[in-house]
């Protein structure tokens, strides 16, 4: 059995080391465990090991994982982040069951999430997904529509616009990895400055490029197999 507590401990050390190299505080960086296609045993093991934030891509599977966590005996229940593509007919269940959504990529989806979010749950924390490399195969807003979308989303009553999420194409060179993450950071800073917004979140970086993402200001890193081991 893959030892999730050992992996979690090792990843936290990696984040601390990366943060130290960047002159940052590791407490400002959230480790998001990407739990798609992982077994119930691994989900429970991660909760028991102290993982506080889980990222899910597929709605039906995620609802099963959320129910599993709710029925566990662990006192501190995790926060759930939706990070996958969003279809219009799935927004209600996402709005009702998640604390965060990273993959908002158009205004219609943001509007539906806001309309379907119960006031009793508090505001849904959201990031706008940006197609930073302009890839036809990937979701996300284009860079030239980000500012306008941020302004519109910021007006929605039951959402809290937190920042940007990117999934760049794979780069093996550390300097190239940093360059693309710097683009996202600079884009968020420019929108904040130009439009007096207060976005504070950059959801970016995975196992292969986490160090470069942290160097450029990532506040949430999304880690899957390096934490949970191979998927079922």
Residue 88 has pLDDT above 60, yes or no: yes
Global pTM value? 0.96
Q: How far is CA 27 from CA 197, 209, 210, in A?
A: 23, 19, 15
Residue 1 has pLDDT above 80, yes or no: no
Please classify residue 41 by burial: count the beta carbons closer than 10 Å to its beta carbon, then call 0-12 exposed, 13-18 middle and 19+ buried: exposed
CATH topology of domain 4-228: TIM Barrel (3.20.20)
Distance CA 2, CA 180 (A): 33
Average pLDDT of the chain to the nearest whole number: 95
Nearest alpha carbon to residue 152 among 165, 161, 140: 161
Distance CA 47, CA 16 (A): 21
Instruction: Quick: pLDDT tens for 92-149.
Output: 999 999 999 999 999 999 999 999 999 999 999 999 999 999 899 899 999 999 999 9
Domain map of the chain by residue range?
4-228
């Amino acid at each position: 059995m893959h030892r999730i507590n050992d992996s979690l401990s090792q990843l936290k050390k990696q984040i601390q080391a990366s943060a130290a190299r960047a002159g940052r505080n590791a407490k400002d960086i959230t480790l998001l465990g990407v739990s798609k296609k992982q077994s119930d045993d691994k989900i429970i093991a991660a909760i028991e090991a102290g993982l506080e934030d889980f990222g899910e891509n597929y709605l039906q599977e995620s609802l099963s994982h959320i129910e599993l966590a709710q029925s566990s005996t662990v006192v501190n229940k995790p926060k759930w982040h939706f990070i996958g593509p969003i279809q219009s007919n799935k927004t209600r269940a996402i709005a009702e069951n998640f604390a965060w959504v990273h993959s908002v990529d158009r205004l219609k989806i943001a509007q539906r999430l806001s309309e379907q979010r119960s006031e009793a749950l508090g505001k849904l924390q959201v990031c706008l997904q940006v197609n930073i490399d302009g890839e036809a195969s990937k979701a996300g807003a284009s860079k030239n529509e980000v500012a306008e979308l941020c302004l519109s989303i910021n007006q929605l009553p039951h959402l809290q616009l937190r920042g940007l999420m990117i999934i760049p194409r794979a780069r093996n060179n550390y300097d190239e990895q940093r360059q693309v993450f710097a683009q996202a950071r600079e884009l968020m800073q420019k929108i904040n400055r130009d439009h007096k917004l207060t976005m504070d979140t950059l959801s970016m970086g995975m196992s292969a490029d986490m160090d470069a993402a942290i160097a450029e200001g990532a506040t949430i890193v999304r880690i899957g197999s390096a934490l949970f081991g191979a998927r079922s």
